[in-house]
Amino acid sequence: MIYSVTFSRRARVDTLELFDYLADRFSFRNAEHYIGQIEKACMSLGTMPMRGVDRSDLMPGLRLLGFRRRVTIAFRVKENSVAILRIFYGGQNADAAFADVAGE
């Protein structure tokens, strides 16, 4: 079964912010390539969606997947879809980002 993969508005903002950060420090071309690789990793969840670590303690159905030791992809799997919720980079705290949701 192939799952559809969608990106939340916040995940898109995370990606754009990361692109700007990387382009400023490295180059536009390198940033573009790295973001493309992250997006490719996200899209691969369409064929194997149950990868990563279950973090239902933070949000029901939340999973976290590491990418190249610097990125964490936060997502949820539903019936036939994967929703990319956030893209964290370089030590951003996923636990803190989802803490408010866990308390609800």
Block means of pLDDT (10 residues each) for the chain, length 104 residues?
96 97 96 97 96 93 94 95 96 80 46
Alpha carbons 79 and 58: distance in angstroms, whole number: 20
Going by C-beta distance under 8 Å and a sequence separation of 6 or more, which residues neighbour residue 55? 62, 63, 64, 74, 94, 98
Q: How big is the chain by its Cα radius of gyration, in Å?
A: 14
Q: What is the per-residue pLDDT for 104?
A: 40
Q: Is residue 46 part of a domain?
A: yes
Q: What is the per-residue pLDDT for 51?
A: 95
CATH number at residue 15: 3.30.2310.20
For residue 94, the enclosing domain spans 4-99
Q: Is residue 72 part of a domain?
A: yes
Q: What is the per-residue pLDDT for 102?
A: 46
Report the number of distinct structural domains present in the chain.
1
Q: Is residue 104 part of a domain?
A: no
Q: What is the per-residue pLDDT for 75?
A: 98
Q: Is residue 69 part of a domain?
A: yes
